[in-house]
Amino acid sequence: MAHVGKRLKKLYEHLDIKKPYTLEDAVKTIKSNVTAKFDETIEIAVNLNIDPRKADQNLRGVVQLPHGTGKTYRVAVFAKGAKAQEAQDAGADIVGAEDLAEKIQAGDIQFDRCIATPDMMGIVGRVGRILGPRGLMPNPKLNTVTMDVASAVKAVKGGQVEYRAEKAGIVHSGVGKASFSEQALIENVASYIDAIQKAKPTGVKGTYVKSISLGSTMGPSLKISMESK
């Protein structure tokens, strides 16, 4: 186990981190052990029996959490004309075309998610080497390359979460804040797990979900019983 600070070690003293908790008990326990002075993020990690290096086992997508994430996302949209206006009306923080690409090339990246209409992908391609490593490149699979920019912007602003399997086959995301009610967190986590299960790659054989854990930014991480899901 990695180094554990005194505060966290004290929390672990009265918790059985080896036993699986029901989702309801895990949420209740995590919320009752939040001690940070800021609103901690509730984080989920799903360990999957996949090899992301294989094309038929790569996992990436988005899920709309019913109660949002508690985080404010800044959205940039590559669009022109009527679509640019639609994006602005939907609440996009930055809208542009060649001018937006120039800002990005200059290192001015004041956004967390990027959306583009299909006809703008030629311009977006010019800054692909900058956006790609940051996970900001628009992608049809994530519904961030679309003509319906208004819906895409509203989805991101409304609590859409992107998930992507790491090399070890683990998917992790923030699914709410410690200040959320227990029921809101339970529903968010259930929606997230359901989306991961439905996105099972075709190349996976045998057990798909190996384990699930839930924790807070500064708190302990608890195992979630597979039976509870």
> Is the separation of the CB atoms in 222 and 27 below 8 Å?
no
What pLDDT does residue 33 have?
85
DSSP state of 145: B
Say how far apart CA 73 and CA 76 lie, in whole Å.
Answer: 10
Gyration radius of the chain over CA positions: 19
Question: In 3D, which of 208, 223, 197 has the Cα closest to residue 61?
Answer: 197
Could you tell me where in the chain the CATH 3.40.50.790 domains are found?
A: 75-157
What pLDDT does residue 228 have?
54
Question: In 3D, which of 188, 172, 186, 190 has the Cα closest to residue 48?
Answer: 172
Nearest 5 degrees, angle CA 157-CA 173-CA 222? 135
What pLDDT does residue 9 have?
62
Superfamily the domain 6-69+161-228 falls into:
Ribosomal protein L1/L10, rRNA-binding domain (3.30.190.20)
What pLDDT does residue 35 have?
81
Element (H, E) at 186: helix 182-198
> Which residue in the block uniquely carries the two structure tokens 């509730």?
42
Would you tell me how many other CB atoms lie within 10 Å of the CB of residue 79? 23
Question: In 3D, which of 79, 225, 204 has the Cα closest to residue 138?
Answer: 79
The contacts of residue 125 (CB under 8 Å, 6+ apart) are none
What pLDDT does residue 10 have?
61
DSSP state of 152: H
What pLDDT does residue 185 have?
97
162-to-107, 144, 225 alpha-carbon distances in Å: 24, 11, 24
| Residues making up the chain, counted from first to last | 229
What pLDDT does residue 2 have?
47
What pLDDT does residue 14 have?
65
Could you tell me where in the chain the CATH 3.30.190.20 domains are found?
A: 6-69+161-228
Fold of 75-157: Rossmann fold (3.40.50)
Reduce the DSSP state of residue 114 to 3 states and report it: strand
> Is the separation of the CB atoms in 83 and 117 below 8 Å?
yes
Would you tell me how many other CB atoms lie within 10 Å of the CB of residue 124? 22
Say how far apart CA 136 and CA 28 lie, in whole Å.
Answer: 34
For the chain, list residues with pLDDT below 70.
Answer: 1-17, 227-229
What pLDDT does residue 200 have?
93
